[in-house]
Amino acid sequence: MAAGRVPNTEDLCTDCEWAPNTETLHLEKCGVKITPRKYVVVDEYQNTNVENIYALGDVCGVVELTPMAIAAGRRLADRLFSSNPIHTTSKVSYEYVPTVVFSHPTIGTCGLTEPKAIEKYGQENVKVYTSRFSDSHYGIFDVKPEDKPKTVMKLVCAGLDEKVVGIHVLGMGSDEMMQGFGVAMKMGATKADLDSCVAIHPTASEELVTM
């Protein structure tokens, strides 16, 4: 394709790689360790290898989300400055972080993908539930059922108790769903817990508790 020309296409996907802007900080002069990709190396408490120098957020390259950085900053501030003994070991958790891609339709995800769950727990210990349907929002649209936008859901469960270790949704409203289901996952929800929840009808999210 010639430079400056836009291809004749219906769909175009672009990808932009993130890189931390740490070079101008000259961290090497302080002895702070950084990775080959310029991320700052920290432990689970946001400590660098140099005493009294901390790092958090995107610059650490763990979970690169603004709310994640805010949460890490709050836990670090609690540990460093709070007089409450409960905060002496305060640290942020990077497990089960709800994440959304604000595409059209939106994509919501929390926890492990199916391959990652199999890698962690073993194929025989992972059970997956899926669903694909047309959102009731499109019920009155004068469109053939097969042409209506679809919502796709996946529950990834592990162990005999079928602990929910991954929830993935592509479809209308997935961004709003993930916050609540993220709380459930942080509390250790199992498939049986979801099944015991009475569905709200008509909603798309009811599918996650009726699979």
Tell me which residues are annotated as active site: 201
Instruction: Tell me the C-alpha to C-alpha distance, in Å, between residue 54 and each of 27, 42, 77.
Output: 12, 8, 11
Paired tokens of 153: 């859901």
User: Would you say 137 and 115 are in contact if contact means Cβ atoms under 8 Å apart?
Assistant: no
Whole-angstrom distance, CA of residue 130 vs CA of residue 148: 19
Paired tokens of 151: 């919502």
For residue 156, give the amino acid letter.
V
